[in-house]
């Protein structure tokens, strides 16, 4: 999976999606965000088993794929990037 997106474009939806993520979950997967790339669209999904939130963005996709990553860590990385990166 490989895609390109602007830092400010992805950070705002990530902040909203991370509001659903439980920091101290008994199930570690619930601290992750699912990233799916299909036909130039990034779909980001989070859940706490009661509430599910989905965000979608247009991206420049070089390779489609599906992965989960720690949501807070991804948000921290995106926030640390320079604006416009």
pLDDT in tens, 50-71: 999 999 999 998 899 999 999 9
What's the whole-number mean pLDDT along residues 31-51?
94
Mean pLDDT rounded to a whole number for the chain: 91
- Give the pTM: 0.88
Would you state the structure tokens that stand for residue 70, as one six-digit string? Answer: 């720690």
Residues 6+ apart with CB under 8 A from 23: 31, 72
Under a CB-based contact definition with an 8 Å cutoff, are residues 25 and 31 in contact? yes
Residue-range domains of the chain with CATH: 2-80 (3.10.150.10)
pLDDT confidence of residue 25: 79
């Amino acid at each position: 999976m490989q895609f390109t997106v602007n830092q400010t474009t992805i950070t705002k939806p990530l902040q909203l999606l991370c509001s659903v993520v439980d920091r101290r979950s008994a199930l570690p997967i619930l601290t992750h965000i699912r990233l799916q790339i299909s036909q130039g669209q990034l779909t980001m999904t989070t859940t706490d088993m009661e509430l599910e939130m989905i965000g979608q963005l247009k991206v420049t996709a070089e390779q489609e794929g599906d992965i989960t990553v720690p949501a807070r860590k991804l948000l921290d990385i995106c926030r640390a990037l320079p604006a416009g990166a």
